[in-house]
Chains A and B, each alone.
Chain A
């Protein structure tokens, strides 16, 4: 069964895609994907996320989505108010350099097909997740961003993914980010559904954070209620580098985020923050993975969820501490508030520690709104609904604090406040 679907997908996808670059890598990925098939519900990694069934139902045509007509008006609408940084436009997954604004001050941005970087495909491994293999074999062209050695890119680079398909098609997209030694940069991402037609967004982002670099990637997921989205975000972090990732998930049909930080040397700091604010039937699954391979590196992870209606959240946080990785500090926390009896959260920390001199902690909580705090606010004259909004926003706000670009942060804050009914 699985084989039939994967064959369908790949054949239709490849027939409709123009995939001339990286022929050898793509061919290998295709073979791998065909062997592996789509993840079934009995597979541990996709136990709570029936992605195969969802794809069968939502995606009627597995061909690659064609370009849509994009104008500067679309971009103006999508950029946060007051945003001053650069932006990179993706039209159904393909890079549109014409519509993008790239100052290229301190960095280079080239199409993957022309950069032909040796790094491509070496960070995100095809064997790790079948959707990476599908992406590798079927994406048309992507972007390679290179932040140059010793350069600080002052303003963020905003990746804007505009998505719209006819009858549920596939949108593969590929990004390779290289932050060279001592460089600093920050990236923002937003996916915008231009209508309510279903599509399958299949993203792979590879990041190399070289020695002593500092970078941050903040991502907003606020797609249509029909969007099925799988992202594989893989990061290799080298000596004394700091890398942080923040993801805010607000909307979608089924969203799966695989995020991996590979701490490949000492002195590394890797941070992962996430907020999922779900309602309706939205399903968001965050699978994170941090791999400590060398001594004296730190990782911090905090994911928070507020789930209403019959939404479902999944959190799986793996921490590996290899035998070499003495003096590791690894912290992980996942806190959830369920606002409805029909909402579900499946949360699972997974620690595998081979080193003996480490500090690791993890914890998760799931509960309702704090009634005592609610009463306290009411007793001061604040209406119950507003008091709820205030408390929920206070819970969520801790994650938003990690977004450093003010316009982007304000944009997300407004969406969050609107969702929580808190206009304070």
Chain B
């Protein structure tokens, strides 16, 4: 589904990603872990098309298309979804209106008929249950005054509405208490099918107790320095990141 080859990216001239290689197949869950500043969120942002980052080398192929060639909205319409680490508050735009616009633009791109107000509402009600989100919240301005947990639930709710094939969860667990974490993870798991794939970017192993990855990759200094199964995450939890850094630093000398 997704093939990343030798991906280099920089921001304002500073290289952050220095040669990422990754292959993700339908049905798989990949966790990207790593110490702060290793480039995890940059990778998520580059895949979603954030303009501040400049891709200097490498390629990304998504379902046979050159992903890097697409505008952010077209990536979303092709089925890439980024759950933001810091969802943006947008006063004056109601979540419901915004989502209806988004869903219908995505549907139009995919050659589907737009959902009318009634149909949209019934789909919304169904998906709301997945993340236990309250309708009152959705009639308010997008994310405005939402708690951290509400914002993250809203991200997963949007994911449910947009039905992506590749979901990238950027530190979705940060700032969540255990209950909220369970709700969010539960939503992600329910949405998972054999046709879709998930990238979970996280600093902590905790989230991976609930969203169990098939593969774990450790990002350090802009490269994937170690890959393994979910056991690698447990090892990191126990031993921290220092041994990975030492190994990687030794190898690069």
Q: Are both chains from one complex? A: yes
Show the binding face of A for B, using Cβ within 8 Å: 370-373, 375-384, 386-387, 390-391, 393-395, 397-398, 424
**Supplied contacts A379-B81, A383-B105, A384-B72, 9 more A-B pairs, CB within 8 Å:** A371-B51, A372-B88, A373-B90, A376-B87, A377-B98, A378-B72, A381-B102, A382-B73, A382-B102
A380 touches B88 (CB 8 A): no
A393 touches B105 (CB 8 A): no
Q: Which residues of A contact B36 (CB under 8 A)?
A: none
Q: In the complex, which of the residues A372, A382, A395 has the most CB atoms of chain B within 10 Å of its own CB atom?
A: A382
A381 touches B98 (CB 8 A): no
Q: Which residues of B contact A393 (CB under 8 A)?
A: 92
- CA of A378 to CA of B70, assembled, Å: 12
Is B49 close to A, CB under 8 A? Answer: yes
A376 touches B88 (CB 8 A): yes
B76 touches A394 (CB 8 A): no
Q: Which residues of A contact B72 (CB under 8 A)?
A: 375, 378-379, 384
Q: Which residues of A contact B102 (CB under 8 A)?
A: 377, 380-382
- Residue interface mask B75-116, A partner, CB < 8 A = 1: 111000110100110111100011101110110010000000
Query: How many residues from B make CB contacts under 8 Å with A?
Result: 31
- CA of A115 to CA of B227, assembled, Å: 89
B105 touches A391 (CB 8 A): no
Q: Which residues of A contact B87 (CB under 8 A)?
A: 376
Interface of chain B, main secondary structure: helix
A384 touches B73 (CB 8 A): yes
Q: What is the chain A residue whose CB lies nearest that of B80? A: A379
B92 touches A379 (CB 8 A): no
B101 touches A390 (CB 8 A): yes
A381 touches B106 (CB 8 A): yes
A379 touches B49 (CB 8 A): yes
Q: Tell whether A397 pairs with B98 under 8 Å between CB atoms, given A379-B49, A381-B73, A382-B73.
A: no
A384 touches B105 (CB 8 A): no
A391 touches B90 (CB 8 A): yes
Q: Which residues of A contact B77 (CB under 8 A)?
A: 381
Is B50 close to A, CB under 8 A? Answer: yes
CB interface residues, B 138-180, toward A, < 8 Å: 141, 158, 162
5 contacting pairs across A/B (C-beta < 8 A) = A375-B50, A377-B102, A381-B162, A384-B72, A386-B105
Name the contact of A379 in the complex, choosing from B82, B99, B141 (C-beta under 8 A): B82
Chain B: minimal CB distance from A396 (Å): 8
Is B11 close to A, CB under 8 A? Answer: no
Chain B: minimal CB distance from A214 (Å): 27
Is B22 close to A, CB under 8 A? Answer: no
Q: What is the chain B residue whose CB lies nearest that of A401? A: B92
Show the binding face of B for A, using Cβ within 8 Å: 48-51, 71-73, 75-77, 81-82, 84, 87-88, 90-93, 97-99, 101-103, 105-106, 109, 141, 158, 162
Q: Which residues of B contact A381 (CB under 8 A)?
A: 73, 76-77, 102-103, 105-106, 109, 162
9 A-B pairs with least C-beta separation: A394-B92, A381-B76, A378-B72, A381-B106, A380-B102, A376-B88, A378-B73, A394-B93, A381-B102
B51 touches A390 (CB 8 A): no
- CA of A378 to CA of B90, assembled, Å: 13
Q: Which residues of A contact B101 (CB under 8 A)?
A: 382, 386, 390, 424
- CA of A393 to CA of B99, assembled, Å: 16
Chain B: minimal CB distance from A394 (Å): 3
B93 touches A380 (CB 8 A): no
Name the contact of B162 in the complex, choosing from A375, A377, A380 (C-beta under 8 A): A380
Q: What is the chain B residue whose CB lies nearest that of A398? A: B92
Q: What is the chain B residue whose CB lies nearest that of A424? A: B101
Q: Which residues of A contact B49 (CB under 8 A)?
A: 375, 378-379
Q: Which residues of B contact A390 (CB under 8 A)?
A: 93, 98, 101
Q: Which residues of A contact B51 (CB under 8 A)?
A: 371, 375
B76 touches A379 (CB 8 A): yes
Q: What is the chain A residue whose CB lies nearest that of B88? A: A376
Chain B: minimal CB distance from A183 (Å): 34
B76 touches A378 (CB 8 A): yes
Chain B: minimal CB distance from A160 (Å): 30
- CA of A373 to CA of B158, assembled, Å: 15
A376 touches B73 (CB 8 A): no
B162 touches A376 (CB 8 A): no
Q: In the complex, which of the residues A371, A391, A394, A395 has the most CB atoms of chain B within 10 Å of its own CB atom?
A: A394
Name the contact of A380 in the complex, choosing from B92, B109, B158 (C-beta under 8 A): B158
Q: What is the chain A residue whose CB lies nearest that of B50? A: A375
Chain A: minimal CB distance from B31 (Å): 21
B98 touches A380 (CB 8 A): yes
Q: Which residues of B contact A397 (CB under 8 A)?
A: 92
- CA of A304 to CA of B46, assembled, Å: 34
Q: What is the chain B residue whose CB lies nearest that of A422? A: B101
Q: Tell whether A376 pairs with B92 under 8 Å between CB atoms, given A381-B102, A381-B162, A384-B71.
A: no
